[in-house]
Structure 1
Amino acid sequence: MLKSFVVPSSDIPGYSSIYRHPDYKSGTFNGKFADITTLYEVFKAQVKNHPKENFLGARAYNPETSTFGDYEWLTTTDVDEMIDDYGSGLDQLFAKHAPDMNEETGQQPLGIFSINRPEWVLTELTAFRSCRYSVGVSDAGGLEASEFYIRCSELEVLVCSMDKIPRILERITHTPRLKVIISMDKLDCSKPTPSTQAFSARTTEALRSKAAFLNIVLTDIAQVIEMGRAKPTEPTPPKPSTYCTLSFSSGSTGTQKGVLITHGAFAAASRAGYLNLQQRSVCHLSFMSISHIFDRYVIYTFMHDVIHIGFSSGVDELLLSDMQALRPTVLVTTPQLLSSVYSKVAEATVEAKGVVGLLSRFALKSKLGRFSSGRGFKHALWDRLIFGKIAQLFGGNIRLVISGAVSLTPELHNFFRAALSCNVVQGYGQTESIASGLIQRTDDISTGNIGIPSPGIDIRLRSIPDMGYVATDHPCPRGEIMIRGEGIFSGYYKAPEKTAEAMDGEWLATGDIAQLNPDGTLKTIDRMGNIIRTALSIYVELEPLEMVYSTHRLVDSMLIHGSLHAYDLIAIVVPRSETFVPWAQNIVGNKDAELVELCKDDRVADAMAEELRAFGSSAKAPSPAVIGAVHLEPRAFGQVDRELLTISRKLRRFKIVQHYDAEIAGLYQKLGNAIDLQIEPSGSS
């Protein structure tokens, strides 16, 4: 039985048939929430229907010990009242210091620059009150990246955490249009936060003086709220056709582009998400970069019912502590995080030696058989003895896991279904499709696919004959994923030629290659510009291969590279220090050798390459090509250079290859393969 609905007689030359959600065969989804057409209306419905619910929460911070405590909350009513005062104050600041509309959009942009925290969502909702649109600014790609966002979007007003202000003022010539900076933290430091640790009343006074000298208005949210409370203004709510955000694409395959999204499109995407997932009273931990689209898509999706949004502390090492403090009900994550956790817990369970490993593997097999036969995800004995401890790492209250970005391996997918005693669903989307497109149904326990079209979304495949993928392939049509529906971006900011490249008529061309499975689900199999061919004419899909190897107990993360001029693959490997160091010390025969020294030792690198070759064979890696040589990098890619990762923590592949140009050339020479390493960034976001 097909899980998707096939639109009759919809195939045309070069394209597959059109596929839709089986419950929405007409391609529309009028009905529940159809009267809610903007994100501001989504929030206002939350206030009306759930006025006293905890809404935005953050962990209490103790500046004396630099530790985090329990979550403290603002209710929906609290936030609604703050938005009115905050919005009135912003109206006055814009009117006085930045009155002009953006020529491209006809609206005023409001920049937001901080880690995930309540003030981020508060500020975005406040922008909506006065028909402004948000611009998420991130420095995950380095200082120049954040300046690029501010400069490219022509921001004049920026709301940011206090720790960002000194750098902005120091380099104000790089953001020449900026006129107003609003600190999320009180400038008098009367309420300490992690962002104010390096500040005092004296240093903030120096910031004020410097801002005044540069003709920059510097204030804080508390002062803006007081301004608005003293002189209220009337709201000017948005329409479906007005913009709600300018969100930058991830940049994993090339230059980042500003993606313009309307309220109507975002509201449609979030409504489709809610109708698909049907999760009531959700507690969500916001930890993936909120300036990127995925986390905000999740927030507005679950805002159609009760949602409690707890923000992470912003410290990677405390993420599991945040989960245990919040106890979220839905975990929205990426395969990278699950792989990282798996590499830690698997060594003590399913990959352990002796009785513990034997028992853990039997328990895993038992649980997989249980939910495959429709008897549910829980098992009284195995959850108490083995898997309950893993579930507690995530707070012990997870009832659904949603994974985006690259695909999960079937082994990882099923392991976390068993470990967390709930379903794990995969989805697919891009910034241009507002993180929506396809997702597995919550009752689907298959693996190796990205599900079916969301409500109101049409999906078809476009033949790419140059790559050998055609929509008439039998029994599984293959081609580029094309998306059509209400929840699609309006275009790239000031880049009409790029917009034209991304569209095929009314269809969004994603750049991702998929095959249509016999059951009506889709499986991503390739990426245009993200696949390589070796000298043996073996085509290697890089991201799935990296996902498999990143589950190895010695590996934290890695980048795999290959070439037409080489028979084997090479890899840049960031080791997992706690397991790698003792393993490598045994190889060199020195119990005192440290991580950096071990990574430079050729004997260790050669042994790691052997480990990966053996692991790839045993793990049934999705490519017959083998890793012939590795370079060991003791630092995480983001620590080496923040520009090596996207804001959604994906590898910026062409940047990494450029950074390790010499090391990659050396690895190929070691294999007896000298190659030309000129890299041309290509592909869409």
Structure 2
Amino acid sequence: MKLKAEVYTFVLLPVYLLMFVYSTLTFLPWYFLTNAKNRKAMAKRIKAKPVLDAPGSPYRAISHFDSLATIDIPGADTLEKLFQHAVAKFGTKDCLGTRELLSEENEKQPNGKVFKKLILGDYRWLNYEEVNTRVSNFGSGLAALGLKPRSTVAIFCETRAEWMISAQACFRYNFPLVTLYATLGEDAVAYGLNESGATHLITSAELLETKLKRVLSQVTNIKHIIYVGKKNIELLDYPADLQIHNIEAVEELGAKPENLNNPPCRPLPTDLAVVMYTSGSTGKPKGVMMIHSNLISGMTGQCERIPGLGPKDTYIGYLPLAHVLEMTAEISCVTYGCRIGYSSPLTLSDQSSKIKKGSKGDCTVLKPTLMAAVPEIMDRIYKNVMSKVQEMNVFQRTLFKLGYDYKLEQIKKGYDAPLCNVILFKKVKALLGGNVRMMLCGGAPLSPQTQRFMNICFCCPVGQGYGLTETCGAGTITEVSDYSTGRVGAPLSCCEIKLRDWVEGGYTNQDKPHPRGEIVIGGQNVSMGYFKNEEKNLEDFFVDENGQRWFCTGDIGEFHSDGCLQIIDRKKDLVKLQAGEYVSLGKVEAALKNCPLIDNICAYANSHQSYVISFVVPNQKKLTGLAQQKRIEGTWEEICNNPTMEAEVLKEIKEVACSMKLERFEIPIKVRLSPDPWTPETGLVTDAFKLKRKELKNHYLTDIERMYGGK
């Protein structure tokens, strides 16, 4: 073994020498040509500061310290005007693209299951003028079907071009849009449709035939359903008083001269634009009311943090459009002339589950320059790439690690490693098309390890954003020049953020070295509250003496000396153990997600007990390999239920917990391994892959009793 190691060291010596020589020769030209000195100064400068020199004072971005930004494009004070501005400016440029479906095949797996595989062609594009025509026709068609201005329209549909066309039509004709996640459970869908009072519903043929058909008996207001897709719907299967239309038929109706000549009722900035039902991590879904000026303000702040946003950019849309992150990202892209190519998590890359082996995923064909993601997807990419690295031979693995560590050191200094980008990371970068210049992550905290990995291997800035549906997705976004990790950036120009003392949790504005407390966001981006829920509005929203609206997030933050925010805890995740110790479940989960054996984890604690337990979705490849080492055989389910494997996972958990400096009482001492992943379809996580603690508790109730000695 010693001889083998010496041979590899000898072989790698020229590589070390090459990198040293390359770095020495190219550093100065690279330093001046890329303006590295200025970029480093930008990264280290003060980005936000308190308005007043007093504890608890709101922080504002330096760029808009005197007054908050509310609008970016003069005169465009509604979403309808934003789109009209884009059509006038970018008319014949590509706007919305969809891949052509060439064929479908059923592929039988070794375990007997049958997966549907797709063979997809090129993207087919609609330019801005063509989208505008469809928007006018569809809006006119909805009006011809009896929809009145300021009457709500529900949309329950997967992310696709027709979603955005429908939304723009509703904005133009002043029909408030009620959005529902395509993965919401049946009860939640029925609840949202009934509470909103929508009479018209836009959906897809697939969702109509699967989920909606079972829900309609519980819904009282829906009179018209407009569906997207080529499938013919058998009308006899639905109530006789329900009218069902294909979207093309509604557009044809709207294009008739007698309908198209009726001018739309244009919205005002104060008119309701969207009621967005959040899937929520607890209880029934809540409808968040956003007026046009709320969304305009939020997007103004967001776009300021994306340098060079414009017609040269291509954005890949695959996250749920019913999520505020994706909806505002796509509307912003359209506003600035970007083109949007539609995808899905199941067709995103060449290795995605619905892509037939040997054919191309959406990223490979589209080659996007901008991409949004949630931490769950980035964690998956990270673990998949690292798994492939482990399969390399010793020489390749050592070379990868050498390049990775070298670039890591360069990035920490604020520099780059162009040679590593070309030689080592080109293939990894190609997984997302090879052209991504910026990635934005939101929805939940992204681990520093994953963020740094994406920085290094995909050769682009990976920004974290922090915002909520209640603040129109706006709050903070890290700047592209900021090479730190674990933070979410400074307040956007559209809002200000203050920290409210939470004495019970031990967080105050007097804390050293930095002030800490509950994050409270104020500005025009703060929504008008929850639909028909005055009690919750009084609890979470307030208006100050200057007439500014504020939202109490329930998240705990810490402001660094440069004005950047770090999320460190959540009020609802805090549990007091029997002996009086406080445990932050979110903190425990964030630390333990660094364990290679873990794909997902939910920590659980009961105030009547003295220790923490956990539910874990293990990494199948890693755990199966470990089972083989321990000579444990059986199906995947049998491996997960094996007490020896539980003990092995707990052993790894303890090691990672100690390395992450968790307290003894924070470390889970019992575990339940789940053979099934947690997806939005299971109802155990939200569409942004946040844990639904109540549902997880109910799902694992028997295991909780077992782990706490009840059974």
For Structure 1 versus Structure 2, the TM-score category normalised by the shorter chain is 0.7 to 0.9
Of residues 191, 200, 209, the one that matches 2:236 is 209
**Structure 1 residues 35-184: aligned runs within 5 Å:** 35-65=75-105, 66-95=118-147, 99=148, 107-166=150-209, 167-184=211-228
Which of the residues 305, 325, 345 maps onto 1:276?
305
Alpha-carbon offset, residue 132 of structure 1: 0.7
Change (3 A) 1:169 1:414: closer
- CA distance in 1 between counterparts of 2:493 and 2:372 reads 20
Deviation at 1:30, TM superposition (A): 6.3
Q: TM-score, normalised by structure 1?
A: 0.88
Q: Is the 8 A contact 2:601 2:617 kept in 1?
A: yes
- Counterpart check, 1:634 vs 2:691: no
CA distance in 2, matches of 1:623, 1:220: 60
**1:299-314 to 2 correspondence within 5 Å?**
299-313=330-344
Which position in structure 2 is the counterpart of 1:616?
657
> Is the CA contact (8 Å cut-off) linking 2:177 and 2:274 kept in structure 1?
yes
Shift of 1:7: 4.3
Structure 1 residue 353, shift from structure 2 partner = 8.0
Q: Give the corresponding residue for 2:567.
A: 524
Letter in 1 for 2:251: I
Kindly state the Cα deviation for residue 93 of structure 1 after the two structures are TM-superposed: 0.2
Contact conserved, 2:599 with 2:618, CA < 8 A, in 1? yes
1:221 to 247, 261, 266: 247
SS in 2 for 1:492: coil
1:450 aligns with 2:518: no
Distance 1:447-1:350 versus aligned 2 partners, 3 A rule: farther
CA distance in 2 between partners of 1:255 and 1:411 (Å) = 34
| Distance in 2, Cα, partners of 1:39 & 1:566 | 52
Q: Is residue 465 from structure 1 mapped to residue 503 from structure 2 by the alignment?
A: yes
Work out which of the residue numbers 620, 639, 644 in structure 2 matches 1:598. 639
Equivalent in the alignment of 1:323: 363
Aligned to 1:259: 288
* Equivalence for 1:438: 476
Match of 1:482 among 505, 520, 524: 520
Distance 1:366 1:351, change over 3 A: farther
Output the CA distance in 2 between the equivalents of 1:168 and 1:567: 45
Q: 2:264 aligns with which of 217, 221, 235?
A: 235
Contact in 1 for aligned 2:612/2:668 (Cα 8 Å): yes
Determine what percentage of the aligned residue pairs are the same residue: 25
| TM-aligned CA deviation for residue 369 of structure 1 | 2.3
Q: Which residue of 2 aligns with 1:383?
A: 421
Cα offset, 1:627, TM superposition: 2.6
Q: Aligned equivalents of 2:335 and 2:395: distance in 1?
A: 48
Call closer, same or farther: CA 1:332–1:632 in 2, change over 3 Å: same
1:524-563 CA deviation, whole Å, 9 max, x = no partner? 1111111234456554333343234334333222211124
Determine if the alignment matches structure 1 residue 422 to structure 2 residue 460.
Answer: yes
Cα distance in 1 between the residues matched to 2:179 and 2:363 = 24
Q: Give the structure 2 partner of residue 408 of structure 1.
A: 446
Once structures 1 and 2 are overlaid, which stretch shifts more, 564-573 or 409-418? 564-573
Counterpart secondary structure, 2:331: helix
Q: Which residue type is aligned with residue 609 of structure 1? A: L
Tell me what 2:110 maps to: none
| TM-score (normalizing by structure 2) | 0.85
Shift of 1:51: 0.8
Aligned partner of 1:678 in structure 2 is none
Deviation at 1:405, TM superposition (A): 2.1
Distance in 2 between the 1:30 and 1:573 partners?
Answer: 44
Alpha carbons of structure 1 residues 512 and 174: separation in structure 2 relative to 1, 3 Å: same
Equivalent residue letter for 1:633: S
Partners in 2 of 1:548 and 1:396 — Cα distance?
Answer: 31
Task: Answer 1 or 2: higher relative contact order, Cα 8 Å, separation at least 6.
Answer: 1
Q: Structure 2 matches for 1:561-576, cutoff 5 A? A: 561-576=604-619
User: Residue in 2 aligned with 1:185?
Assistant: 229
How far residue 118 of structure 1 moved from its aligned partner, in angstroms, is 0.6
Q: Could you tell me how far 1:73 is from its partner in structure 2?
A: 1.3
CA distance in 2, matches of 1:651, 1:267: 30
Gap change, CA 1:220 and 1:289, over 3 Å in 2: same
* Contact 2:496–2:523 under 8 Å retained in 1: yes
- The alignment yields a C-alpha RMSD, in angstroms, of 2.4
Distance 1:262 1:519, change over 3 A: same
Does the aligned pair in 2 maintain the 1:243–1:263 contact within 8 Å? Answer: yes
Kept after mapping to 1: 8 A contact 2:632/2:639:
no
- SS of residue in 2 equivalent to 1:466: coil
Q: Distance in 2 between matches of 1:352 and 1:662?
A: 42
Whether contact under 8 Å (1:59, 1:313) holds in the other structure is no
Deviation at 1:482, TM superposition (A): 0.9
- The secondary structure found in structure 1 opposite 2:649 is helix
The answer to whether the aligner puts 1:369 opposite 2:409 as a matched pair is: yes
Matched, 1:560 2:603: yes
Contact 2:91 2:128 in 1 (8 A): yes
Secondary structure of 2:487 counterpart? coil
* Unpaired stretches in structure 2, ≥5 consecutive residues: 1-43, 106-117, 347-351, 544-548
8 Å contact kept, 1:36–1:42:
yes
Please state how far the C-alpha of 1:578 moved relative to its aligned partner.
2.7
Q: Which stretch of structure 1 is more off in the superposition, 314-323 or 565-574? A: 314-323
Cα pair 1:250 1:648 within 8 Å, conserved: no
Amino acid in the other structure paired with 2:445: S
Would you say 1:587 and 2:613 are equivalent positions? no
Do 1:574 and 1:636's aligned partners in 2 also have CA atoms closer than 8 Å? Answer: yes
Do 1:540 and 1:623's aligned partners in 2 also have CA atoms closer than 8 Å? Answer: no
Q: Distance in 1 between matches of 2:140 and 2:199?
A: 18
Distance 1:622 1:271, change over 3 A: farther
Paired with 1:161 and 1:308, the residues of 2 have a C-alpha distance of 23
Tell me how far apart the structure 1 counterparts of residues 125 and 591 of structure 2 sit (CA, whole Å): 40
Partner residue of 1:295?
Answer: 326
Q: Taking structure 1 as reference, are residues 401 and 175 closer, same or farther at Cα in structure 2, changes over 3 Å only?
A: same
- Supply the distance in 1 between the matched residues of 2:271 and 2:664 (Cα, whole angstroms): 46
For residues 162 and 341 of structure 1, the distance between their equivalents in structure 2, rounded to whole angstroms, comes to 31
Secondary structure of the corresponding residue to residue 679 of structure 2: helix
Name the amino acid aligned to 1:162: A
Measure, in 1, the Cα distance between the counterparts of 2:541 and 2:518.
Answer: 12
Q: Distance in 1 between the 2:164 and 2:664 partners?
A: 43
Aligned residues of 2:374 and 2:688 also touching (Cα < 8 A): no
In structure 2, do the counterparts of structure 1 residues 20 and 34 end up closer, same or farther at CA, with 3 Å as the change threshold? farther
The answer for the alignment partner of 2:26 in structure 1 is none
SS at match of 1:491: coil
Rounded Cα–Cα distance in structure 2 between residues aligned with 1:275 and 1:527: 28
Counterpart-to-counterpart distance in 2, 1:549 and 1:110: 43
What's the CA shift for 1:587?
2.2
Mapped contact 2:158–2:182 kept (Cα < 8 A): no
| Maintained 8 Å contact 1:58/1:313 | no
Tell me the distance in 2 between the aligned counterparts of 1:4 and 1:294.
23
Post-superposition Cα deviations, 1:239-278, rounded to whole Å, max 9, x if no partner, equal: 1111110002341144321100001110111111112222
Q: Distance in 1 between matches of 2:334 and 2:662?
A: 40
Counterpart check, 1:646 vs 2:686:
yes
Give the superposition deviation at 1:350: 7.6
Aligned partner letter, 1:518: S
Equivalent residue letter for 1:288: L
Number of corresponding residues: 636
